[in-house]
Amino acid sequence: MTSTRDLNRSEYRALAELRYRIRRFLRFSEAAARDAGLEPQHHQLLLAVKGMPDDRRASIGDLAERLQLKPNSTDELVRRVEGRGLVTTERGAEDRRQIIVSLTADGEEALRELSVAHLEELRGEARALAEGLDRLIRRRA
Amino acid sequence: MTSTRDLNRSEYRALAELRYRIRRFLRFSEAAARDAGLEPQHHQLLLAVKGMPDDRRASIGDLAERLQLKPNSTDELVRRVEGRGLVTTERGAEDRRQIIVSLTADGEEALRELSVAHLEELRGEARALAEGLDRLIRRRA
DNA sequence: TCCGTAAATATCGTAACACGACATAAGACC
DNA sequence: GGTCTTATGTCGTGTTACGATATTTACGGA
């Protein structure tokens, strides 16, 4: 069941360019996290906890969805970060199967410093990324 | 050297939302690659070779930049993909230190099928990603 | 209430992969 | 033709995400 049409050169190039920009964006963010003394994944976890929609409290399962990881991987990540004192965990009050993850004061501070210090530069990368997206989306929409 | 200003709730949320959309985008793409029988990284390598700017021929170093990997990691990736018969390598004609990577017919076909089959759906994800970016960029630009 | 089933999290072994450190080979320049 | 730089290649290591599976708690019906 092979499709009959090909992609042309510029379409491939637009796809490749988009991926390049995404990778640059992620690379920048990872370097920023490491400069702040955080593992990139740890940073992402803190951000996911803090940025939960509707002020919803973050369970392992919620975080797995936001981080697009499997629940067991998320569990492991949470433990690693808990080991560094950046988050705490507690059993859910209504559903005692759940684990609710919260930021510690150290976690809040680490996330704040990192976000503040790099937000402007991040916006620059984001802008380049947005251009790449536009190029892809607008082509033969 | 701590910055004096905080981020507000909606800024954290915009950052978290953006990362979520990027992860969804990448997840979708990875799943598509696996459905087509390709490792996600292999797909990325094929695309990077095919989408080289200015029809430039792809050396290991060029690909390392496009993939945002270290040259040695890129070398290893190229070998893995070469082992599957999707690319070939040859010494550079002018500079014999270089390795030039090209797609085989199988590589071309794998990339084409994957790109064609999923380009439309990819655009949907790309659109969601673009929205997340807009939200981040426009805030207090 | 008791039981079966489902959902949420936890454990463990495995594999992929990127990297740092170092090695080799080819060009560049004097 | 010696030295410095660049491009690639090798090897050992560490992180991490995952599949398979176990455990704990919820839930719905008889």
The answer to whether residues A40 and A34 touch, using CB atoms and an 8 Å cutoff, is: yes
Average pLDDT (A78-90) is 96
| Contact criterion met (CB < 8 Å) for B22 and A19 | no
Mean local confidence (pLDDT), A90-115: 94
Cβ of A39 less than 7 A from strand D: yes
Q: Which nucleotides of D are covered by protein (CB under 7 A)?
A: 6-11, 15-21, 24-27
Classify residue B116 as exposed, middle or buried by CB count within 10 Å of its CB (0-12, 13-18, 19+): middle
Write the CB contacts of B1 (distance below 8 Å, at least 6 apart in sequence).
none
Phi/psi of residue A128, nearest 5 degrees:
-60, -40
Q: What percent of chain A has pLDDT over 70?
A: 94
3-state secondary structure of A68: coil
Contact B123 A137 (CB under 8 A): yes
Band of residue B89 on the pLDDT scale cut at 50, 70, 90: very high
Domains of chain B: 9-134 (1.10.10.10)
Dihedral over Cα of B111, B23, B72, B48: its sign:
positive
**Predicted confidence (pLDDT) at residue A130 exceeds the cutoff of 80:** yes
pLDDT recorded at residue B125:
78
B18 in contact with nucleic chain D (CB within 7 A): no
Reply yes or no on whether the pLDDT at A8 is more than 90.
no
C-alpha B12/C-alpha A52 separation (Å) is: 9
Q: Give the separation between CA A45 and CA A76, rounded to whole angstroms.
A: 11
Type of residue found at B83 = G
A18-37 residues near strand C (Cβ < 7 Å) = none
CA neighbor of A23 nearest in space, from A135, A134, A132: A132
pLDDT of residue A135: 82
Closest partner CB to A137 (pick from B2, B18, B130): B130
Rounded-to-integer distance, Cα A42 and Cα A38, Å: 6
- Distance in angstroms: CA A97, C1' D27: 13
Work out the mean pLDDT of chain B and round it to a whole number: 88
Chain A residue with CA closest to B66: the answer is A20
| Interchain pair B67, A115: CB under 8 A | no
Task: Tell me the C-alpha distance between A28 and B62, whole Å.
Answer: 19
**Contact by Cβ (8 Å): B49, B65:** no
Distance in angstroms: CA A67, C1' D19:
19
Q: Which residue from A16, A22, A127 is facing B50, i.e. has the nearest CB?
A: A16
- Give me the phi and psi of A103, to 5 degrees please: -80, 140
Average pLDDT over residues A92-108: 96
- Top mean pLDDT of A4-18, A65-79, B13-27, B107-121 is at A65-79
pLDDT score, position A139: 64
